Structure 1
Amino acid sequence: MIRLDSISKQNGHQILFIEASAALFKGEKVGLVGPNGAGKSTLFRMIAGEDVPDEGQVSTDRGITIGYFDQNVGEMAGRSAVAEVMDGAGPVSEVAAELAELEGALADPDRADEMEALIERFGEVQGRFEELGGYALEGRAREVLSGLSFSPAMMDGDVGALSGGWKMRVALARILLMRPDVMLLDEPSNHLDLESLIWLEDFLKGYDGALMMTSHDREFMNRIVTKIVEIDAGTLTTYGGDYGFYEDQRALAEKQMQAQYERQQAMLAKEIKFIERFKARASHASQVQSRVKKLEKIERVEPPRRRQTIEFDFPPAPRSGDEVVTLRSVAKAYGDRVIYDGLDLRIARRERWCVMGVNGAGKSTLLRLVTGSAAPDSGKVTLGGSVKLGYFAQHAMELLDAELSVFETLDNTFPQAGQGSLRALAGAFGFSGDDVEKPVRVLSGGEKARLVMALMLYDPPNFLVLDEPTNHLDMATKQMLIRALASYEGTMLFVSHDRHFLAALSNRVLELTPEGVRHYGGGYTEYVASTGQEAPGLRS
């Protein structure tokens, strides 16, 4: 369906592709992987026709439709989420807009004198809407939005009132409703809660078109894709299988390349040693010349290119008392909406609680109550002795000084630390080379999140409260964070929609349900085995 033939592309001084080739065939589900800045979004734009290669060709079969979702959703305002989603479905959306306009006009007493003409036009437009399958389309639009966790009120409300994350869900819903021949999804798993993520997973499994996607969610990628295309140093390499298979194959190929390189280096050293030893002896002249010519003809094996991943040994957290935090008879409401009424919870040292619950269940509210960012309406929240609290939340990014660079931010916070240690810390969170000189004001949301996480873990607290800590982290940084927290000896309370993160780090589960709070011994893996579901909102 889509072929990339010997494409080359350069952005400024950065070379993204050098005579790279790959193909996407009908019905395939492909994961596009590569380090940040490798050119994944550029490749999507070239396939979508929004960019062109400097050399080579991107060809698509005649008549196929392509739906492209990226993180730049643009302005949305002035109509409902349902109307915005249906707008991506072609002519029917224009008819739907006129139908809505006519419904408003028919209810307007100031236009009573036009009633006969309005009714006649309404009948014509309604007929056309039915002919185009409009009512079925609206039902499907609502079904998709419901799958992405929209309430009926949010579906019918002005899309302009939604946050950026919810607008992204609307943009994603447009592509899903469209059901094009080819879907290009750039990080569709960002901004989704666990229930929406699992719904999207099932939707994409049942989609019969061709799919190419990027995602920093390992489980999500593994369950959908059957082929991986890797961008690395300007080339495109295709691997059959899911992300786990790709990782294994890449590691095996690197090992084989390293062994081949070392064998050749040993052979070259042996030959060079012989030449050096006998080059002055006339009796060995012919042998020396033969070996010199042999070395000149040998095609040199290059060592495998290794992705730069910087590990950082985080210092141990100081020990807290055995009782870390206690909530007694806590009540919390926002207006008429009761979040908690009589909540009791005790968190002990070295417990790692993950908090589960559908949107609006009160996950972030619980974290704010525990950290003192919000006060209970009644009841008491008590931190234990020697507790040093660290709280990661999205608003923490707003507290960074916009005029300081990444390195200045670290250096100002830890003036006694050595430059080498701080640069290693920055590197572990994805700031390598000149990136440490970037001012905070130009950082993306993901980069700011990584900087806040680095600030918190360099001098670690003994009680970590984390609200969606893996948002925007790439797989390598996420894996580094999981390894660091796996050896962390403090206490954790966290919310995450990343199943790999949940399974790797939790040893207790707190589930928030309309019927009340449920406690589960064991971590997320045991919770799934016990309930038969990966998220509370999926349970029948």
Structure 2
Amino acid sequence: MIRLDNISKQNGHHLLFVEASAALQRGEKIGLVGPNGAGKTTLFRMIKGEEPPDEGQVSVDRGVTIGYFSQDVGEMAGRSAASEVMDGAGPVSAVAAELAELEHALADPDRADEMEAIIERYGEVQHRFQELDGYALEARAREVLAGLGFSEEMIDGDVGALSGGWKMRVALARILLMRPDVMLLDEPSNHLDLESLIWLEQFLKGYEGALLMTSHDRAFMNRIVGKVIEIDGGSLTTYAGDYEFYEAQRALAEKQQQAQFERQQAMLAKEIKFIERFKARASHAAQVQSRVKKLDKIEKVEPPRRRQTVLFDFPTAPRSGEDVVSLKKVHKGYGSKRIYDGFDFVVRRRERWCVMGVNGAGKSTLLKLVAGTTAPDDGSVVVGGSVKMGYFAQHAMDLLDGDRTVFQTLEDSFPQAGQGSLRTLAGCFGFSGDDVEKRCRVLSGGEKARLVMALMLYDPPNFLVLDEPTNHLDIATKEMLIAALSNYEGTMLFVSHDRHFLAALSNRVLELTPDGVHQYGGGYTEYVARTGQEAPGLRT
């Protein structure tokens, strides 16, 4: 359906692709992977025809419809979420618009002399609308929006009143409703809660078209794709298998290439040593010349291109008391909505609680109560002795001074630390070389999240309160964070929609449901095994 033949593409001085080739066949579901800046979004834009390759060819079979979801959703306002979604549903939305115009014309007395032609055209358009299942369009639009977490009120309300994250969901819903022959999805799992993520997973599994997508959620990617295309060093490499298979194959290929490289280096060193030793001896001249010619003809094996991953080594946090935080008979509401009504909860040292619940259940409210950024209406929240808390929330990223650089921000927070120590810290969180001189105002969401995390973890707290810490983070940074937190000896209370993160780090689950609060010993994996569901909102 789609072929990339020997494409080359340069962005400024940055070479993105060099004679790279790949193909997307009918019905295939492919994950597109590669480090940040490798050219994933550029590849989507070339397939969509929004940007040409410098060399080579991008071919799309005639008549193939393509739906492209990107993080840049544009302006939305003045219509309901349902109307916005239906308007982007491809050919059926154009037919619906013409049908509405014809209905208006039928009721217009000034066009009585055209009525016969209008009625004839109306019949044709109505037939086409039925063929495209147009009369079920609104029901399908509402079903998709509900699956992505929209309430009835939000579906019918002005889309302009929604936050950026919810507008992203509207843009995604447009593509899903369109059901094109090919979907190009650039980070569709961003901004989704766990229930919506699992719904989208099921939708894409049942989708019969071809899919090419990026995602920072490895569990989501792993369950959907059956093939992976990797962008690395300007080339496209295709792996037949899911994400886990790709990771294993890539590691194996790296290991084999490293071994091959080392063998060749040893052989070259031996040959060069012989040449150096005997080049001045006339008796060995023929042998020396023969070996020099042999070396000239050898195709050099390159060492594997290593992804730069620096592990963050947690300094030891001071020990806290046994009772880290205690909530007793806590009442909390916003307006007429009651969130907590006589809530009791205790976190003890070295427990790692993940908090689960649907949107509005009170997950972030609980973390704010514990962190002291909001007060209970009644009851008490008591933080235990010797507790040093680190609180990560999305709004923390907005508090960074836009005029300060990454390095200046670290220096401001830790004036006693040496430059080498702060550069190592910056490197662990993905800021290497000139990246430390970037001003905070130009940082991406992921870069801001990494900087806030670095500020929080350098002088380690013994109690981490984390509200969606993996939002905006790529897979490599998440792996680094999981590795670091696995060795962390303090206490954790956190909210996340990343199932890999939940499974790797939790040893307790607090589930907030309309039926009440449930506590589970054992982590997320045990919770799934006991309840039979991956999220509270999926309970039947």
Tell me which residue corresponds to 1:107. none
Tell me which residue corresponds to 1:171. 171
Tell me which residue corresponds to 1:379. 379
Q: Distance in 1 between matches of 2:184 and 2:130?
A: 30
Q: Distance in 2 between matches of 1:171 and 1:523?
A: 34
Name the aligned partner's letter for residue 418 of structure 1. Answer: G
Tell me which residue corresponds to 2:338. 338
Q: Kindly report which structure 2 residues correspond to 1:22-37, keeping only aligned pairs within 5 A, or say none.
A: 22-37=22-37
Name the aligned partner's letter for residue 185 of structure 1. Answer: L
Q: What TM-score does the superposition give when structure 2 sets the normalisation length? A: 0.94
Q: Distance in 1 between matches of 2:277 and 2:490?
A: 61
Tell me which residue corresponds to 1:409. 409
Is 1:45 the equivalent of 2:58? no
Name the aligned partner's letter for residue 489 of structure 1. Answer: E
Deviation readout 1:396-422 (Å, 9 max, x if unpaired): 011111100001101111111122221
Q: Distance in 1 between matches of 2:341 and 2:320?
A: 29
Structure 1 residues not aligned, in runs of 5+: 105-110
Q: Identity rate of aligned residues, in percent?
A: 80
Deviates more, 1:424-433 or 1:155-164: 424-433
Is 1:241 the equivalent of 2:241? yes
Asked if 1 retains the 8 angstrom alpha-carbon contact of 2:264 and 2:301, the reply is yes
Name the aligned partner's letter for residue 169 of structure 1. Answer: R
Deviates more, 1:431-440 or 1:93-102: 93-102
Question: Aligned to 2:287, what secondary structure does the other structure show?
Answer: helix
Tell me which residue corresponds to 1:186. 186
C-alpha displacement at 1:298, in angstroms? 1.3
C-alpha displacement at 1:135, in angstroms? 2.8
Question: Aligned to 2:533, what secondary structure does the other structure show?
Answer: coil
Q: Distance in 1 between matches of 2:126 and 2:253?
A: 61
Question: Aligned to 1:319, what secondary structure does the other structure show?
Answer: coil
Taking structure 1 as reference, are residues 145 and 103 closer, same or farther at Cα in structure 2, changes over 3 Å only? Answer: farther
Deviation readout 1:111-156 (Å, 9 max, x if unpaired): 9x99x9xxxx99x799676675333011111111111011111100
Q: What TM-score does the superposition give when structure 1 sets the normalisation length? A: 0.94
Asked if 2 retains the 8 angstrom alpha-carbon contact of 1:32 and 1:212, the reply is yes
Is 1:213 the equivalent of 2:213? yes
Asked if 2 retains the 8 angstrom alpha-carbon contact of 1:22 and 1:236, the reply is yes
Tell me which residue corresponds to 1:149. 149
Tell me which residue corresponds to 2:225. 225
Q: Distance in 1 between matches of 2:26 and 2:126?
A: 35
Asked if 2 retains the 8 angstrom alpha-carbon contact of 1:64 and 1:181, the reply is yes
C-alpha displacement at 1:539, in angstroms? 1.1
Is 1:260 the equivalent of 2:260? yes
Deviation readout 1:45-81 (Å, 9 max, x if unpaired): 0001111101110000000000000000000001010
Deviation readout 1:207-259 (Å, 9 max, x if unpaired): 11110000000100100001110000100011110111111111111111111
Q: Distance in 2 between matches of 1:332 and 1:291?
A: 82
Tell me which residue corresponds to 1:351. 351
Q: Kindly report which structure 2 residues correspond to 1:65-80, keeping only aligned pairs within 5 A, or say none.
A: 65-80=65-80
Q: Distance in 2 between matches of 1:365 and 1:168?
A: 24
C-alpha displacement at 1:312, in angstroms? 2.3
Asked if 1 retains the 8 angstrom alpha-carbon contact of 2:446 and 2:474, the reply is no
Question: Aligned to 1:53, what secondary structure does the other structure show?
Answer: coil
Q: Distance in 2 between matches of 1:418 and 1:97?
A: 65
Name the aligned partner's letter for residue 397 of structure 1. Answer: M
Q: Kindly report which structure 2 residues correspond to 1:469-484, keeping only aligned pairs within 5 A, or say none.
A: 469-484=469-484
Q: Distance in 1 between matches of 2:296 and 2:99?
A: 78
Q: Distance in 2 between matches of 1:81 and 1:511?
A: 30
Deviates more, 1:292-301 or 1:326-335: 292-301
Asked if 1 retains the 8 angstrom alpha-carbon contact of 2:314 and 2:487, the reply is no
Deviation readout 1:400-454 (Å, 9 max, x if unpaired): 1110000110111111112222112112212122111110111122211111011
Asked if 2 retains the 8 angstrom alpha-carbon contact of 1:92 and 1:134, the reply is yes
Q: CA RMSD in A?
A: 2.5
Q: Distance in 1 between matches of 2:152 and 2:516?
A: 24
C-alpha displacement at 1:101, in angstroms? 10
Question: Aligned to 2:464, what secondary structure does the other structure show?
Answer: strand
Q: Distance in 2 between matches of 1:499 and 1:9?
A: 36
Q: Distance in 2 between matches of 1:505 and 1:132?
A: 47
Name the aligned partner's letter for residue 403 of structure 1. Answer: D
Question: Aligned to 1:89, what secondary structure does the other structure show?
Answer: coil
Tell me which residue corresponds to 1:531. 531
Deviates more, 1:395-404 or 1:498-507: 395-404
Name the aligned partner's letter for residue 363 of structure 1. Answer: K
Asked if 1 retains the 8 angstrom alpha-carbon contact of 2:142 and 2:155, the reply is yes
Tell me which residue corresponds to 2:115. none
Tell me which residue corresponds to 2:433. 433
Asked if 2 retains the 8 angstrom alpha-carbon contact of 1:230 and 1:238, the reply is yes
Q: Distance in 2 between matches of 1:418 and 1:85?
A: 53
C-alpha displacement at 1:280, in angstroms? 2.1
Q: Kindly report which structure 2 residues correspond to 1:292-311, keeping only aligned pairs within 5 A, or say none.
A: 292-311=292-311
Name the aligned partner's letter for residue 254 of structure 1. Answer: E
Question: Aligned to 2:88, what secondary structure does the other structure show?
Answer: helix
C-alpha displacement at 1:103, in angstroms? 11
Tell me which residue corresponds to 2:327. 327
Is 1:81 the equivalent of 2:81? yes
Query: How many residue pairs get matched?
Result: 532
Name the aligned partner's letter for residue 349 of structure 2. Answer: R
Q: Distance in 1 between matches of 2:102 and 2:328?
A: 56
Tell me which residue corresponds to 1:108. none
Is 1:398 the equivalent of 2:402? no
C-alpha displacement at 1:282, in angstroms? 2.2
Name the aligned partner's letter for residue 240 of structure 1. Answer: A
Asked if 2 retains the 8 angstrom alpha-carbon contact of 1:83 and 1:97, the reply is no
Name the aligned partner's letter for residue 308 of structure 2. Answer: Q
Structure 2 residues not aligned, in runs of 5+: 113-117
Asked if 2 retains the 8 angstrom alpha-carbon contact of 1:86 and 1:93, the reply is yes
Q: Distance in 2 between matches of 1:474 and 1:246?
A: 16
Q: Distance in 1 between matches of 2:95 and 2:261?
A: 65
